Amino acid sequence: MCNATSLTKLEEQIVKTSKRKFVYPEVYEPYYHINAFGDKLLHIIPQDDPKRIWPADWKLIPDFHQGAPSEFPYHTYNARSEDIWTSNTYKKSAESGRCLILADGFFEPHTYVKPGTKTEKKQPYYITLPEQKLFYFAGLFNKIDEELYTVTILTMEANDIMAQIHNAKKRMPLILEEQFTENWIDPSLNEKQIKELINVSFTNEALKYHPVSNAIYKRGIDTNTPEILKAVPAIDPELNGSNQSTLF
């Protein structure tokens, strides 16, 4: 799962790195922590307009839903990459609604049980590429109308390192290796090619990670601040603070 993310870069930095401009630059503001359960926007490069950056609601709403988007009862913030071809919710988007979701970090919970006890404690970890560089999640979108994109982040089974961090669910978002980003939004790909791409496209860069404040789990606290990204002491000695590792 991936229900919290960051995009701290300024607009001009994103434009320079992505070589694309925002459709609505007035809507974009850098953010340090947002979660999918709030009324927040992600920013995407969609398959149907691959030269521009669009805002998108973080909850994919499929065509078969007839009511208001807010009435869709399912938490479609993430889509399991293993299931998208058998899901009525995601199959159409997997075929023709793929997108790049801009980010420079994400948050996952680590569960720690102190030896000799049964008490679980959770501590969030913040995960980035080296130097917190811009990256792209593999995403799926569906358009509600000509101006409104809705979106979900693809997830996959966690590898050894991410399974230590996100050790309850053992999932991780699909961060695309740079060489595969344009392939992901290539409209000519068929189902077999898309499946193959999912299997090989996860970044081979070393990910950095460190524990951060549990304030991100509390209501009524503004966590969209630079301070939320600061490292705090790790409660699990096996994940002792800031670290770095190649995931594959």
Per-residue pLDDT of 179-203, as tens digits, reads: 999 999 999 999 999 999 999 999 9
pLDDT tens, 70-99? Answer: 899 999 999 999 999 999 999 999 999 999
User: What is this structure's pTM?
Assistant: 0.95
**Which contiguous run of DSSP H or E holds residue 198?**
helix 191-200
Contact (CB, 8 A) for 143 and 150: yes
Q: What does each C-alpha distance from 218 to 35, 169, 213, 215, 222 come to in angstroms?
A: 12, 21, 10, 5, 9
Q: What is the dihedral of CA 10, 184, 74, 88, to 10 degrees?
A: 160
pLDDT value, residue 243: 56
Residue 127 is encoded by which pair of tokens? 């995960």
Q: By C-alpha distance, which of 102, 104, 106 is closest to 5? A: 106
pLDDT value, residue 220: 85
Total number of domains in the chain: 1
pLDDT tens, 220-246? Answer: 899 999 999 999 999 999 886 455 443
CATH number at residue 134: 3.90.1680.10
Q: Domain range for residue 226? A: 4-246
Q: Which residues pair with 83 in a beta bridge?
A: none
Contact (CB, 8 A) for 101 and 175: no
For the chain, list the strands marked E by DSSP: 4-7, 21-22, 31-35, 41-46, 52-57, 78-80, 98-103, 105-113, 120-128, 135-143, 149-157, 171-173, 206-211, 243-246
Q: By C-alpha distance, which of 99, 209, 224, 228 is closest to 151? A: 99
